Amino acid sequence: MSTMKLLHKPTRHLFFTGKGGVGKTSLSCAAAIALADKGLNVLLVSTDPASNLDEMLGLTLGSEPTPVPGVPRLYAMNIDPESAAEEYRARVLDQMAPDASDEDRATVREQLSGACTTEIAAFDEFVGLLAEDNPRFDHIIFDTAPTGHTPRLLSLPKAWTGFLEANERGASCLGPHSGLKMQEDRFRQALACLGDSARTTIVLVTRADRGAIREAARTAGELCELGLSNQMLAVNGCFTPTDPSDQVAAAFAAEQTKALTDLPATLASLSRDEIALKPFDMVGLAALRALLSDTALTPPADAADDTFENPALPRLATLVGEIAASGKGLVMVMGKGGVGKTTVAAAVAVGLASRGHTVHLTTTDPAAHLSFVVGADALPGLSVDRIDPAAETARYIEKIMATKGRDLDDDGKALLREDLASPCTEEVAVFHAFARVVGEARTSFVVIDTAPTGHTLLLLDATGAYHRQMTRHIAEDAPGRMVTPLMRLQDPAYTRVLLVTLPETTPVSEASALQDDLRRAGIEPYGWVVNKAMAITGTRDPLLRARIRGEKVQIERVKRDCASRVYGLDFRPVAPLGLPALLQLANEGQVKTSGH
């Protein structure tokens, strides 16, 4: 019997969502396997552009349901944004009048070339799975992108339905409105299904730490505002120490207990499952089956294995010193959700400011919590904000109205403003804000905490599309040299990209895949940061020591196969929040060894 109460009487649709790194994919995979093992037909779907279902299940997935070897009746698939976008373009073009000219078709295809189309097309695939009553599957389980993007995904049916009701004319950046109109009924069905507690359960996944719980509470509130109150809470990685005398283990457990005791009211009122921390990585069917079992045992400690010294990695102070030597520039911190990007970005920014530099710390993550990490204290030279999608969209709309709408009559202005009400205007506005921030690094330091991998890649796709558009349209005799945001990102003297990972199989694999994507775009990462290395703590707890054995394998993998510059940060039972903790993190010098 599964330890998750959720699986005793599950609804047809299960959505697993939460902050990056809390274990959404692990739990959604384990839940799908558990239901299939009970004899039910199950489809497991990832809506994350940076899905890692393939690695966890040990097979290559595409955009069609694929049987999972070793689990009869289980099928899995990834929603591929690019293939979905191409199929969406074809459907919209097919809706055009037979006598439409090649020029008209080329214009529509150009309209359908942006990141907005990619998002709505991937969403359309999701809607199809949600709206259709497919008797082939008893349950459809969705492993969603990190929560900053999930409320937007779940709000799209309402947003696009409202847009279509209000806008009967013209064409949007998604092409002719006829192409959207044909989707309207599907959007309405999806919205009804999402809010129906008899058909859908939204599982908010969290760890028992303050940051993840804070994010889960924020998401719960946003979903309730959308009318989606059919939620439950899953707390992953709950730890019980086996040796009370181990100070690291005891502090870790005490911090978890305090976090759960202080649950916000929005979460405390929800039905809750608690899943124990396991001594192994969640990769492969055996591990995923064991995740929801209460019989998985911790391997006995090896008496001969008495050396848990810290891997020989330079600390963050070394990295900050190297960056500071340039005097200015852009630092972009990237990685899988939950690996500690925000903490690393904040520590680097604080470290640079403490060395006398002017630093702008910002984020492109919709689930931004920089202010929570940095705290309210001021540090000379440091400014902290975020790229706020709502504020940037309002600014962008007014700018377009003041330029393109300046010479239009009242009807023309009304049509333009109507078109700008499209939900995907936000994507364009965020890109323009990103480009503006990138340009600031010409004269000072800018540190950007990026969104989790998949959505950072979409932003970089928009950057590349803008670059291609500019280079295609600029006149050959234009004065001066054009410099696009992509060119700045490709310049190692201007930009340093830091990839953050945990010493675990999946985060390392995903960081490696991200590095490959960046290199294809002509962007070479500066270095990797391995965060939360348990080996550095010197703990003797058997479960934590079992995890350390796996950590050391992954750290060696990073050093051997992935990066020439690798920096290390130790695990802390209490997350480093506020300027004093960040200053300590940024200025720690020599690497500790166990026993120190």
Distance CA 203, CA 206 (A): 10
- 492 in Cβ contact with 331 (< 8 Å): no
* Catalytic hit among 26, 117, 343, 450: 26
The residues that bridge with 274 in the sheet, in sequence order, are 235
Whether 25 is catalytic is yes
Q: Is 532 left (phi over 0), alpha (psi -120 to 50) or beta?
A: left
Give the DSSP letter string of 452-488: PHHHHHHHHHHHHHHHHHHHHHS-TT-SS----HHHH
Whether 24 is catalytic is yes
Q: Distances from the Cα of 348 to the Cαs of 354, 585, 586, in angstroms?
A: 10, 9, 6
* Residues 6 or more apart whose Cβ sits within 8 Å of residue 120: 88, 156, 160, 174, 424
- 292 in Cβ contact with 30 (< 8 Å): yes
Whether 48 is catalytic is yes
Distance CA 178, CA 381 (A): 52
Residue closest to 541 by CA, chosen among 239, 207, 280: 239
* Catalytic hit among 48, 143, 365, 541: 48
* Catalytic hit among 20, 23, 179, 405: 23
Give the DSSP letter string of 94-133: HTS-TT--HHHHHHHHHHTTSHHHHHHHHHHHHHHHHHS-
Give the DSSP letter string of 530-559: EEEEGGGGT---HHHHHHHHHHHHHHHHII
Whether 450 is catalytic is no
The residues that bridge with 77 in the sheet, in sequence order, are 45
Residue closest to 78 by CA, chosen among 115, 53, 112: 53
Distance CA 172, CA 319 (A): 45
CA Rg value for the chain: 25
* Catalytic hit among 425, 506, 509, 537: 506
* Residues 6 or more apart whose Cβ sits within 8 Å of residue 399: none
* Catalytic hit among 18, 21, 338, 340: 21
* Catalytic hit among 25, 66, 150, 363: 25
Count of alpha carbons within 13 Å of 291, Cβ hemisphere only? 27
Whether 321 is catalytic is no
Whether 242 is catalytic is no
Q: Distances from the Cα of 540 to the Cαs of 311, 502, 574, in angstroms?
A: 17, 20, 18
Residue type, 404: K
* Catalytic hit among 19, 24, 278, 532: 24
- 445 in Cβ contact with 329 (< 8 Å): yes
Give the DSSP letter string of 293-326: -S-PPPPPP-TT----PPPS---HHHHHHHHHTT
User: 170 exposed, middle or buried (CB, 10 Å; 0-12, 13-18, 19+)?
Assistant: exposed
**Residues known to be catalytic:** 21, 23-26, 48, 506
